[in-house]
Structure 1
Amino acid sequence: MCRWLAYTGNPLQLETVLFNARHSLIDQSMHSRLGATTTNGDGFGIGWYGHPTDIPFRYRCIQPAWSDRNLREAARAIHSPLFVAHIRAATDTPSQETNCHPFRHGRWLFAHNGLVRNYPKVRRDLMVQIDPDLFPSIEGSTDSEVLFFLALTFGLELTPVTALERMVGFVETAGRRHGVGEPLNMTVCATDGEQIIAVRYSSEGQSRSLFHSRSFRHLRELYPDDERIRTAGENAFLVLSEPLSDLPGIWQEIPESTAVVARGGEIEQFAFEPRMN
């Protein structure tokens, strides 16, 4: 399907997690261990912030991540306190740059792994719900981008978790109205440069894999000689589809139907429940 990660903490060189880790995102693009597909080669994207209040930068490409030499150069050059990276395995929509994650609107970035089932059947119902002022900003043809703009319509910029719950409730209602029994499977990431919101949810209760790092203060005690852990700082946080290493004590699986919010060194976890609109 897809793999993604998001990081916040001290400014970190993107190369650290995209290329240098043992099971880096580039390795996952060829050899995913936990994904629905082993290979994720239908394009990629990175989004990063120079400052939390800035409009984020993006680089997206339809080439497989492992073969893009410019990504290697960019990942070596960019140091950022918050970034998102995504590798794509396309489902029902074409490989084109506008379909590569992360999607952007204003200060917000959004990435998704999963699918809206029978998307062609429910697409119209979903798209007509999007705020008319937001609709012109849709560039691609993916279900993922529609999920993002539905979440924006339902208030992502003000109450992110509630907006995502309303988005899921609407998608499930629309899907079942068309006879789709299990309309949605997703792990998603949304960020405005100051916080990361990650959600693991599916209609069938068998969501794609999602993990987050444990306390970096604790990790420094476990691995005092690991330069990457020291560089990230005590308030660092990483959420990702698959662990980057096999070191014990680093990763914690996010439970089904759960939202995680990381902001300013604080990590909160909430039960995630669809809301009817």
Structure 2
Amino acid sequence: MWSDTTLPGLAASVSAGAMLAAVRSATVGMPVTEQAAAPFGEGRWLFSHNGKVAGWPGSVAKLASTLPTTDLLTLDAPTDAALLWALVRDRLRRGTGLREAVAGTVAEVAADAPGSRLNLLLTDGVTVVATTYGHALSFLKKPGSVLISSEPLDDDPSWQAVGDRTLVVATAAEVHQIPMGDA
């Protein structure tokens, strides 16, 4: 975000029922380019990953091979986050719901790359789905809004920590926390 020349113009014109913003530094060893910066998107979907796929890239090579070749050849960047987005997006394109697309991707990646930190965030503009898997996640529920973040953004005592290996499904009206084994 610090080097994204398009951010001021985008931020000035954003209006949405659900919004996803990714503010993080790059994972060591990953390229630092605008194409590698989340959120990644297609149509109404926006996606972000905070964490690291352990053993990248070899640990997830088998999963990557399940994607259509065109998706692999057109990844936004050669990063773990871009591959995770491609895996989630492939499920969404096949008609899988947001919750199931994220939970299924986390389960497969965690099985192939133990020790990964997988905070995934996905929105369709109405619903936000987030995971905590080996990483922190919190949310702040206020009347008519929900804010989900890796860490509380201020000292408001209403922030609620999300337990590890939990799927969060949120709209402006409600928040549901689902253990990943039940998702």
Shorter chain as denominator, the TM-score bin is 0.7 to 0.9
Alpha-carbon distance in structure 2 between the residues aligned to 1:247 and 1:188:
24
Alpha-carbon distance in structure 2 between the residues aligned to 1:243 and 1:94:
27
Structure 1 pair 194–137 and aligned structure 2 pair: CA distance change class (3 A): farther
Letter of the aligned partner of 1:262 in structure 2?
Answer: A
2:166 alignment partner in structure 1: 258
1:83 alignment partner in structure 2: 19
State the shift of 1:210 in Å: 1.0
Higher strand share: 1
1:270 alignment partner in structure 2: 178
Do the aligned residues in 2 keep the contact of 1:165 with 1:274 (CA within 8 Å)? Answer: no
Do the aligned residues in 1 keep the contact of 2:52 with 2:118 (CA within 8 Å)? Answer: yes
Structure 1 pair 213–112 and aligned structure 2 pair: CA distance change class (3 A): same
Structure 1 pair 274–264 and aligned structure 2 pair: CA distance change class (3 A): closer
Kindly provide the CA deviation profile for residues 119-160 of structure 1, in whole angstroms up to 9, marking residues without a partner as x: 032243232111346445422111111111112223475322
Letter of the aligned partner of 2:65 in structure 1?
Answer: V
Structure 1 pair 273–133 and aligned structure 2 pair: CA distance change class (3 A): farther
Aligned pair count? 180
Alpha-carbon distance in structure 1 between the residues aligned to 2:82 and 2:173:
29
Alpha-carbon distance in structure 2 between the residues aligned to 1:100 and 1:153:
20
2:58 alignment partner in structure 1: 121
2:138 alignment partner in structure 1: 211
1:237 alignment partner in structure 2: 146
Letter of the aligned partner of 2:99 in structure 1?
Answer: V
Structure 1 pair 164–72 and aligned structure 2 pair: CA distance change class (3 A): closer
State the shift of 1:117 in Å: 0.8
Q: Is there any run of 5+ residues in structure 2 with no aligned partner, and where? A: none
Alpha-carbon distance in structure 1 between the residues aligned to 2:58 and 2:23:
26
Report 1:96-111 matches (<5 A). 96-111=33-48
Which SS does the other structure have where 1:139 is aligned? coil
When the two chains are superposed, the root-mean-square deviation of aligned CA atoms in Å is: 2.5
Alpha-carbon distance in structure 2 between the residues aligned to 1:73 and 1:151:
28
Q: Is there any run of 5+ residues in structure 1 with no aligned partner, and where? A: 1-43, 45-61, 176-181, 202-206, 217-233
Identity value in percent: 28
Matched, 1:144 2:84: no
Do the aligned residues in 2 keep the contact of 1:171 with 1:183 (CA within 8 Å)? Answer: no
Alpha-carbon distance in structure 1 between the residues aligned to 2:69 and 2:167:
28
Letter of the aligned partner of 1:78 in structure 2?
Answer: S
Alpha-carbon distance in structure 1 between the residues aligned to 2:59 and 2:48:
21
Aligned match of 1:165 in 73, 85, 103?
103
Alpha-carbon distance in structure 2 between the residues aligned to 1:71 and 1:130:
31
